[in-house]
Structure formats: structure tokens, C-alpha cells
Amino acid sequence: MRALDPRQDRSKGYEPMVYVAAFIFSFCSGGRSLADCERLNDDEALKAMLGIKKFPDQSALGEWLRQIGAEGVAGLRGLLRGFAGWALAEAQRQRLTHAGQLESFFDDTQIEVEGKCFEGARVNYEGNLALGWQTLWVGPFLADGILGSPVDHKEEGGKDVSAHLPAMLKANAFLWEGWSSYLYADSGSSAGKYLEAIDESFGAWSVSYNKWTSPLEAAASALPESSWSAVKLEKWRNGTLHQAQYQWVRHQPEGCRKPKLFAVVRHRNSAGALFWEYAFVACKEQDGEMKPEAIFERHHLTGDKERAFSELLSDLDLHHPPCKSLMANNAYYLLGALAYNLLQALKLIYLPPEHQPKRIRTLLHHLLLIPVEIKRHARKMKVLFYAPAGWVQWWTGLLSKLLPRCRLLGPLAQAPSG
């Protein structure tokens, strides 16, 4: 990929694949910084198996992140979505779907930073200096992401946390083509222009709606008592018991070409509250009978998507941008997302069903951090690795399928043993 090779003289320096390999293998072995990438030079077995004499030091890695610029970041985004597409095609469909649908999730998470040297950082709603990471997930894979304040939305103060959503939906639409699709999003994506973009892209969706609720509350309060569902006692988010009733309302938000359907719940504390409170979720109209409470139940699964995002940030330690440059940090986070997708693909495609619930941290400990010993004698090199006894059968199957594809070791897989 030429966009990842900023060298003027290609006879000097490292090829892009060496830089990418350094980041990927560092992330996939518990690395947390550019210095950890450089420490791969201590792993003689890894360098021998990859055919790399030396990995770049941390200064060279940081310089490469800065030099590839916007074109390189665009190339990495394309690589990320391309790999997600390959993995979705390779994995068993039942491992990727919920209720027969391939679920997507759009979110902006805050990456808090310290100091004023981070380009694009801004004070967030909690009063902390942070970068925003707008991401689109398709199934279990992070398919696209852009880090930092939206530079092209300065008139909105850089606070539009869904500014890149329409473009991401267009660029990644091929990933859910041919699937029954569903998108979750929070209230940051509830402006009319975003609801229109989502509606055009997905067969079903739900979006939290709590920003411009006055017209909806007026419409809901005007509904006759007989139109509400039967009263249910439900445990609310704060742990108290609430009376809850459900109904539909229609409303045309600014920026929408026609009215949208909203599931509404009115609720009040069962301990004696006098007045109803309202909550809304915008959704797509479906053929057949659909209940508003089912929309809320489905939309509550957004919490599972947010937890998966939290696992990515924690297990690969992506809480700490390494560079001052916003573009360089974008490249770093895309490489982290690619490493995460590789690990997810390893689990979804190759691991048996009982291991599907494992999180990335567990995969790192049980699959990738394997002791390896290199032995050389005569004209041969022997690689010995020590796998847990319970995993021997799995490792045998994996190597018989993947080892022949390895450029360096593939020919050895065809040679007779002994």
C-alpha cells in the first residue's frame, strides 16, 4: 500500500509491512506503548519466524505514524474495513448474528488526555480534556474509526459527536449488504439528518432520543389513558421499582423528510410519585405487529456493545494516545483496532463454541503468549512452542490449516516430518 510508504528513497529504511507488523505483534502480545514495539527486538523467535532482522525503534515508529499523514490514515481505514469484510465472510453466520440480524453500533467515546500538547483535544461534558473517537462496529468487528475533534465542523464547536456517521455508513455499507441488518446508536446520533442517513442504510434500527423531547412529551401526555399498555412494575436504572406503560408516537424532527416512529414509555416511582416521566427511542417502522416495549428491550442491548468497546480500550490499553499529532494518533488507533479484529477473527473463525465468550485478554494469555524456543543444528532451524495440554488438538488443526499459507514456513509444512 503506497500510502503507507512515505520514503523518498525506497532502498533505505523499513518497508511499511515491518512497521505494521511491529504494531500488530506488540498489541497482540500485551504491548502498551511504542517502547513495547521496540522491545520485540528481544524476541529472536518472532524475528526468525517473520524473516525480520530488526524491528524499528520507538523514534522510527513515531516518525512513521506522523509521516504517513491523511493519505496513510485513509489507507488504514480501508484496510480495517476490508479485513472486517473478509472475517465476516469467513466466520459462521450464527456466531455473528442476534435474532437473525447482523448488528452494527455507532458511538463516540472519550479518550481522556493530560496536558495541552494533544492536537484536537477539547474539554468534554465532564470537564476533562479528551479526544473523541467516533467508531462504527459491524458485528463483533470495529469496521471504521476517526479520532479527534471534527476539523470540518468548526461551526459546531467541534462537539458534533456524530459528524462522521453519514460518511462512515456509505463507506462501510458493503459489510452488511446481503444481511438482515440492525443499528444501535445513542442520543448523539438523534439529529434529523442522522436519523435519515441511518434509515436509508439499515433494515432496522433504534436510536436513543432525549435531546429535543418537548414535542414528544406533549404528544404523549395528550394520548388517552386507554391507549397505553397495561401497567408493569419494572426495576429502573437507579435500582428503584417503577410503574411503566408503553405506546407509540409519531413526530417529524427537524431535518427529516417525513415523520419518524418513536417508542415511548411513561414511568413513575411506585413508592408514590404523582407525575409521569417519559423516555423515547426512535426506530424504523416494520411490517407486521411490533410492540413498543420490545423496542426498549432490544435497545437496552446497546449496553453490551458499549462493554465490548470498553474491553477493546482496556485489553489493548488504548486509553493513552502516544503522539502530539492528531493524524499520528489516528493511525495508531486504527492499527490497534486492526489488531483487535485479528484476535476476534481468530476466535470466531477457529475456536470451538465453548471458547466464544472469551474476551481478548484471555486470548492473549492462553493462545498468543506461548513460550517458544529456537534450535539450530546443521542446516536446519527448529521452532519449539509449548502449548497447554488441553489445547494441543486445537493447535494441531490450526497449524495444519494456516501454516502452509506462511511465506517463510509454508514450504516446511509440506516436508515430511522427522
pLDDT tens column, 85-113: 999 999 999 999 999 999 999 999 989 88
Bigger pLDDT: 332 vs 123: 332
Please state, in angstroms and rounded to a whole number, the distance separating the CA atoms of residues 50 and 45: 9
DSSP category for residue 3? G
Assigned domain for 356 exists = no
pTM, to two decimals: 0.88
In a domain, residue 73? The reply is yes
Mean pLDDT check: name the lowest of 94-98, 170-174, 188-192, 403-407: 403-407
Higher pLDDT, 214 or 366: 214
375 and 304 in one domain? Answer: no
The confidence score (pLDDT) of residue 413 equals 59
- The separation between the first and the last C-alpha atoms of the chain, rounded to the nearest angstrom, is 39
**Same domain membership, residue 175 and residue 42:** no
Whether 276 and 383 map to the same domain: the answer is no
Which DSSP string do the residues of 288-304 spell out, in sequence order? S---HHHHHHHHTTHHH
- C-beta of residue 141 within 8 angstroms of C-beta of residue 341: yes
- DSSP three-state, residue 283: strand
User: Is there a single domain that holds both residue 61 and residue 177?
Assistant: no
Q: What is the pLDDT of residue 372?
A: 76
Per the structure, the count of domains in the chain is: 3
pLDDT of residue 383: 78
Q: Are 172 and 195 in contact (CB under 8 A)?
A: no
154: pLDDT strictly greater than 60: no
**β-pair type (380-385, 372-377):** antiparallel
| 181/259 same-domain check | yes
Q: What is the per-residue pLDDT across 219-255, written as a single tens digit (0 to 9) for each? A: 999 999 999 999 999 988 888 999 999 999 999 999 9
Is 185 in a helix, a strand, or coil?
Answer: strand
**Inside any domain, residue 292:** yes
pLDDT tens, 201-213? 999 999 999 989 9
Instruction: Write down which residue in 348, 382, 401 finishes a domain.
Output: 348
pLDDT, averaged across the chain:
89
Asked whether the CA dihedral 110, 111, 112, 113 is positive or negative, the reply is: negative
- In this structure, are 213 and 322 located in the same domain? yes
Range of the domain at 24: 2-66
- Tell whether 108 and 139 lie within a shared domain: yes
pLDDT in tens, 48-67: 888 899 999 999 999 999 99
150 in the same domain as 97? yes
Residue 72 lies in a domain: yes
pLDDT over 60 (residue 156): no
